[in-house]
């Protein structure tokens, strides 16, 4: 997890480094241990008044694909610099109208040990066709928890930032003195 200040510096670096005409606006810069995800807003396609939902959806998807192809070289150049500087992979995405699309991004493996009752939950999701595998079922559970606990996770992240800030303000000595060792 990164602190608010680190996040602001990261967002600032991308805001300053991205070509001015790449996005209408930079909407999101997120980072974890493995990856930085950069998402920007691009202009919606102009459609005839009264266009059907199918036409709108097709136009948005085509606009996203056109942007991805047209800007690939510029995005790769920025990503190389960022990956060298921040030691993380960079992934890209766009928002266009109501459409949000992430391009190639990291799917990091996470290992865990589960007891039988927990495995039964995953196996039920697989048997019901909600997920293809235990791995898919676990990812589904994480997304469900994320969707329903954003406020709680936000408070937890703020608390962790406070802990990191307090730790960084600690003494610079390598070993703490034992009580009574003061001179």
pLDDT in tens, 82-108: 999 999 999 999 999 988 999 988 888
Alpha helices in the chain (DSSP H): 4-17, 53-86, 116-127, 134-148, 150-168
Tell me the per-residue pLDDT of 12-54, one tens digit each, with 9 for 90 and over.
999 999 999 999 999 999 998 899 999 999 999 999 999 999 9
- Rounded CA-CA distance 72/70 in Å is 6
**C-beta of residue 45 within 8 angstroms of C-beta of residue 63:** yes
pLDDT at residue 135 above 60? yes
């Amino acid at each position: 997890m990164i602190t608010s200040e680190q996040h602001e510096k990261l967002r600032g670096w991308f805001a300053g480094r991205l070509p001015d005409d790449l996005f209408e606006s930079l909407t999101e810069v997120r980072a974890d241990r493995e990856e930085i995800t950069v998402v920007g807003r691009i202009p919606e396609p102009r459609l005839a008044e009264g266009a059907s939902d199918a036409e709108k959806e097709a136009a948005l998807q085509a606009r996203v694909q056109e942007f991805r192809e047209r800007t690939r070289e510029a995005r790769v150049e920025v990503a190389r610099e960022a990956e060298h500087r921040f030691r993380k992979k960079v992934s890209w995405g766009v928002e266009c109208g109501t459409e949000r699309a992430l391009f190639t991004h990291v799917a990091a493996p996470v290992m865990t040990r589960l007891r039988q009752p927990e495995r039964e939950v995953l196996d039920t999701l697989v048997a019901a066709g909600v997920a293809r595998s235990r791995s898919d079922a676990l990812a589904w559970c994480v997304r469900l928890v994320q969707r329903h606990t954003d406020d709680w996770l936000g408070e937890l992240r703020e608390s962790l930032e406070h802990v990191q800030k307090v730790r960084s303000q600690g003494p610079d000595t390598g070993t703490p003195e034992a009580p009574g060792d003061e001179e």
